[in-house]
Amino acid sequence: MTRGRLRGTIVENLRPDFDPASRVTVSHPARLLEALLFISPRPLSAAELADACGLGEGGLAAALAELHDEYADGRHGLEIREVAGGFTFAVASDCEAAVERFAGARRPDDLSPALVETLSVVAYLQPTTRAAVAQVRGVSSEWALTSLVERGLVEEDGRADTPGAPIVYRTSARFLKLLGLRDLSQLPALEEFSLGADDVDAIRLRLTANAERRRA
């Protein structure tokens, strides 16, 4: 039995009322975009997609809209997201738990608290220098920055116009992709992390209680 006949037999057995002619398909340009996003390990910009598919601005916008509708919520296990200045496939939110159980981790990077702290400082201060990061953290950040650069989450961005011309660091496109951000403007505002009066009082009470236990 040929592969085509085998596939047809499986479909017929699973859905006896299935009519292949009734299946709605996307346009050829949308299929081209789908193929490119499927094989690319990184988000592809609109310019890259248009050039590879030979599409104008209007044609690309229409094909992207069509593909986005095809992968809208609830239709597939994947969806189209705009991150890091381009477009990419991402696991649908309601499928993440199964993927996490299979893969063993939600993110491919297992970051220590020190690395997360350093990455956060770079994200909000960028472009920034090693000395500035260390000043905010209160400890040397040389190892942490080197590790983040090796992981592709932070990258060098020239040198500062200050004495000694220190290296300037900024977050990378991979950082945006892993966090699912279109650009840095989607980072949460720092004000959202401010402690309220109740939080400060609760922390003070816990610290006081711990100090009293140590003295006892």
Tell whether domain 3-97 is in CATH 1.10.10.10. yes
Residue predicted with more confidence, 182 or 118: 118
Residue 81: CB atoms within 10 A of its CB come to 19
| Residue 83 bridge partners (DSSP) | 86
Cβ(24)–Cβ(66) below 8 Å? no
Q: Determine the pLDDT at residue 22.
A: 47
- Determine what percent of the chain is predicted with pLDDT higher than 90: 1
Q: Does 64 have pLDDT greater than 60?
A: yes
Helices (H), ranges, the chain: 3-14, 28-39, 46-53, 57-70, 96-103, 113-125, 130-137, 142-150, 173-179, 197-215
pLDDT tens readout for residues 4-46: 555 555 445 555 554 544 455 778 888 888 888 888 878 888 8
The domain defined by 113-193 folds into Arc Repressor Mutant, subunit A (1.10.10)
Residue predicted with more confidence, 212 or 126: 126
Same fold flag, 3-97 and 113-193: yes
Q: Is the full-model pTM beyond 0.75?
A: no
- Mean pLDDT over 45-57 rounds to 87
pLDDT tens readout for residues 82-140: 887 888 888 888 887 787 777 655 455 567 788 888 888 898 888 888 888 888 887 77
State the Cα–Cα distance between residues 15 and 10, nearest whole angstrom.
8
For the chain, what are the domain ranges?
A: 3-97, 113-193
Cβ(120)–Cβ(72) below 8 Å? no
- Mean pLDDT over 70-75 rounds to 80
Residue 112, phi then psi, degrees to nearest 5: -75, 165
Q: Determine the pLDDT at residue 194.
A: 67
